Amino acid sequence: MSDEADPPTRAILAAIANLRKEVTQSKNDICASIEARLLICTELREELATTKKEIQSSIKTLEAATAAHEKTIKELERSRRHNIRIVGVPEGVEGSTTRDFVADLLKDVLSLDEKPLIDRVHRTLRRSPGPRGPPRPFILRLHYYHVLEDILRKARVAKQLYFRDKRIQIFPDYPPAVAQRRALFNRARELLRNKPGVRYGLLYPARLLVTHNGTQTSFTDPKKAEEYAEQLSGPGSPTAAVD
């Protein structure tokens, strides 16, 4: 600022200089704020990218675990088709050699030619009952599927089986969902029982196959099976499409 300028001019010039400083400072402050916000945005983007990768990795891990569990479940269900359940055998009679005991029991009760080969056997894992409680069922896996079929066939033919004067029952050991689906056909099977010219069987997992006078009909719908069975009591031959 020139010393020769008059006081008003000096005052104006001083005000302009101060204003320039303030504008410069404001600009610097704004730029600093923008840079800080940009830095925060950059850090957030990096954090989001890292989080996204972590989530994607977790999802892949969960998907792999889920697929492994599904595979295990399917394998267990296929393996379970080799299992049978024996109900009614008193607690403690098996002693320490459960596998041999159950093999001998099946051979004697069902008059098998030889003892079946059993891979594993155990009582169900619920708490041991008291003296008045029902005994826990045996669940066993037979090594050969055709032996399982022979055992179940003989158990069906016998209808009533006894071990040491106690009635026992032998069933397939189906998964709970399959057992529930098969149970829905109980009424239809009851209606078909002892009808002349009728043979029937429940196929895995839940399909009722009925043969009437040489004609086969199958049902996956329990209600349709009941309707068909009821018609067998009436006049004429029932007609039913395979469902």
Q: Over the stretch 107-143, which tens digit does the pLDDT of each residue have?
A: 999 999 999 999 999 998 877 777 778 899 999 999 9
The predicted structure's pLDDT at residue 70: 67
The predicted structure's pLDDT at residue 116: 97
The predicted structure's pLDDT at residue 201: 87
Cβ neighbours of residue 173 closer than 8 Å, sequence gap 6 or more: 80, 83, 84, 85, 139
Return the amino acid letter for 18.
N
The β-bridge partners of 218 are 209
The predicted structure's pLDDT at residue 99: 95
Q: Which of 184, 183, 151, 189 is nearest to 169 (CA)?
A: 151
Hey, what are 217's tokens? Answer: 């009909």
Residue 7 has pLDDT above 60, yes or no: yes
Residue 83: pLDDT band (50, 70, 90) is very high
Residue 235 has pLDDT above 60, yes or no: no
CATH 3.30.70.1820 location in the chain: 80-173
Residue 71: pLDDT band (50, 70, 90) is low
Residue 75 has pLDDT above 70, yes or no: no
Task: Round to whole Å and give the CA distance between 184 and 100.
Answer: 35
Residue 69: pLDDT band (50, 70, 90) is low
The predicted structure's pLDDT at residue 77: 53
Task: Round to whole Å and give the CA distance between 203 and 189.
Answer: 13
Decide which of 42 and 191 is more confident: 191
Residue 241 has pLDDT above 60, yes or no: no
The predicted structure's pLDDT at residue 169: 92
Task: Round to whole Å and give the CA distance between 225 and 55.
Answer: 50
The predicted structure's pLDDT at residue 9: 78
Return the CATH architecture of domain 179-231.
Answer: 2-Layer Sandwich (3.30)
**Residues 94-112, mean pLDDT to the nearest whole number:** 95
Residue 11: pLDDT band (50, 70, 90) is confident
CATH 3.30.250.20 location in the chain: 179-231
CATH of 80-173, one of 3.40.50.300, 3.40.50.1370, 3.30.70.1820, 1.20.120.450: 3.30.70.1820
| In the chain, % of residues over pLDDT 90 | 43
Helices in the chain by DSSP H: which ranges?
Answer: 7-80, 98-110, 145-158, 176-183, 186-192, 222-231
* Mean pLDDT, the chain, whole residue set: 85
Residue 237: pLDDT band (50, 70, 90) is low
